[in-house]
């Protein structure tokens, strides 16, 4: 299975897909100058769709995703799929989910072996165009702090915990797609999940009900 699969390939989406696939901006024109070039060959990973009603807005691919070309093809993806109560087959069906991270390419590792933040070149160039090409999106799952910052702007709280704790402020808004803020499903947040049981009790039922309604047509009244 490949992330290049598309649900519907109208001209605009296909043109955009090819442009993203060929992007080398972080290697050839890095935002911070020559010393900040992406140190490896870029491999943009994103799934666009003309029919999906749910958009997963993550951070940036990890090394395993970079190697496979398949978004969330790792333990974080397993946890995210469990949060949503969807199968792997459903998750990778572009008729059900669009997957557009803040950065399309694996950014590399920092000095401590952790993933670097999403590249600064990517979102300003691609994000508005990508979202405009998918006007059918009804729910945006903003996964992690970088997605929170982009999709909430000045409405974001000071930290991730406070932002997710106040999810209702962003979700129950009658303008544009609903935005549901989530922590990143990385193993690094396992301790956070244990300390914040309200997330599983309060947020996950809402997440599962809305995803179920949008990808399976279930009506919860």
CA dist., res. 140 & res. 79, Å (int): 18
The DSSP secondary-structure symbol of 7 reads B
- CA 71-76-82 angle, to 5 degrees, is 100
pTM over 0.75: yes
Q: Which helix (H) or strand (E) holds 18?
A: helix 11-21
For residue 11, how far is the Cα from the chain centroid?
23
Tens digit of pLDDT for each residue in 107-132?
Answer: 999 888 888 999 999 999 999 999 99
The DSSP secondary-structure symbol of 177 reads S
Structural domain boundaries in the chain: 11-216
Top-tier CATH class for 11-216: alpha beta
Are the C-beta atoms of 85 and 208 separated by less than 8 Å?
yes
Tens digit of pLDDT for each residue in 170-187?
Answer: 999 878 899 999 999 999
Are the C-beta atoms of 166 and 157 separated by less than 8 Å?
yes
What percent of the chain is modeled with pLDDT above 90? 84
Tens digit of pLDDT for each residue in 14-58?
Answer: 999 999 999 999 999 998 888 899 989 999 999 999 999 999 999
pLDDT, mean of residues 59-65: 93
Tens digit of pLDDT for each residue in 73-90?
Answer: 999 999 999 999 999 999
């Amino acid at each position: 299975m490949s992330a290049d699969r598309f649900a519907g390939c109208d001209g605009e989406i296909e043109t955009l897909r090819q442009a993203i696939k060929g992007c080398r901006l972080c290697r050839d024109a890095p935002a911070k100058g020559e010393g900040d070039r992406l140190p490896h060959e870029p491999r943009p990973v994103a799934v666009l769709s003309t029919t999906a009603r749910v958009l997963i807005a993550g951070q940036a691919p990890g090394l395993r995703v970079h190697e496979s070309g398949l978004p969330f093809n790792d333990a974080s993806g397993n946890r995210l799929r469990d949060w949503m109560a969807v199968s792997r087959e459903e998750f990778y069906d572009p008729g059900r989910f669009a997957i557009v991270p803040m950065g399309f390419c694996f950014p590399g590792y920092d000095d401590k072996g952790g993933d670097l933040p999403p590249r600064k070149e990517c979102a300003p160039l691609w994000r508005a165009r990508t979202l405009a090409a998918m006007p059918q999106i009804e729910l945006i799952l903003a996964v992690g702090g970088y997605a929170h910052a982009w999709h909430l702007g000045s409405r974001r709280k000071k930290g991730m915990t406070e932002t997710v704790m106040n999810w209702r402020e962003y979700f129950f808004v009658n303008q544009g797609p609903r935005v549901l803020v989530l922590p990143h499903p990385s193993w690094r947040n396992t301790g956070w999940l244990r300390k914040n049981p309200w997330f599983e009790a309060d947020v996950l039922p809402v997440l599962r009900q809305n995803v179920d309604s949008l990808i399976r047509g279930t009506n919860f009244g």
